[in-house]
């Protein structure tokens, strides 16, 4: 199991050893525009817990099984506001030196 960020979006992958010492990876289908972190895993088990938090969704604990690729919500914090009419957009600014800087805008759906 590996968690990483791509353009400030959290991602999680299952890595599996393959023939000849190579590894294959499969992405987990978790919510987009979120922070994803590994909470707990066990060396004797194929399961792991992941925490997923986004601008519009409260922190949620997910259980994944690396052998099957299954994902299940275990528990979630209660929402603190109604996000049903809101959207998240990712945009990119360019700094003076040309560096691309990704950022998010959260706003009501129009």
Q: Name the pTM for this structure.
A: 0.83
Return d(Cα 49, Cα 108) in angstroms, integer.
32
Q: For 47-79, how does the pLDDT look when each residue is reduced to its tens digit (9 = 90+)? A: 999 999 999 999 999 999 988 889 999 999 999
Tokens of 86: 């809101």
Residues comprising the chain, all counted: 110
Q: For 26-50, how does the pLDDT look when each residue is reduced to its tens digit (9 = 90+)? A: 999 998 889 999 999 988 888 999 9
Could you tell me the CA-to-CA distances from 107 to 75, 82, 88, 94, 104 in Å, in that order?
A: 26, 12, 7, 22, 10
Q: Which DSSP string do the residues of 60-99 spell out, in sequence order? A: EEEEEETTTTEEEEEEEPPPSS--TTEEEEEEEEE-TTS-
């Amino acid at each position: 199991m590996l968690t990483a960020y791509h353009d400030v979006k959290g991602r999680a992958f299952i890595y599996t050893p393959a023939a000849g010492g190579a590894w294959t990876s499969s992405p987990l289908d978790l919510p987009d525009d979120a922070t994803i972190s590994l909470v707990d895993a066990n060396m004797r088990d194929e399961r792991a817990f992941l925490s997923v938090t986004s601008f519009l969704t409260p922190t949620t604990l997910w259980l994944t099984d690396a052998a099957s690729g299954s994902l299940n919500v275990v528990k979630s914090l209660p929402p603190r506001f109604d996000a049903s009419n809101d959207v998240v957009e990712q945009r990119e600014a360019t700094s003076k030196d040309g560096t691309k800087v990704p950022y998010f805008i959260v706003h009501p759906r129009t």
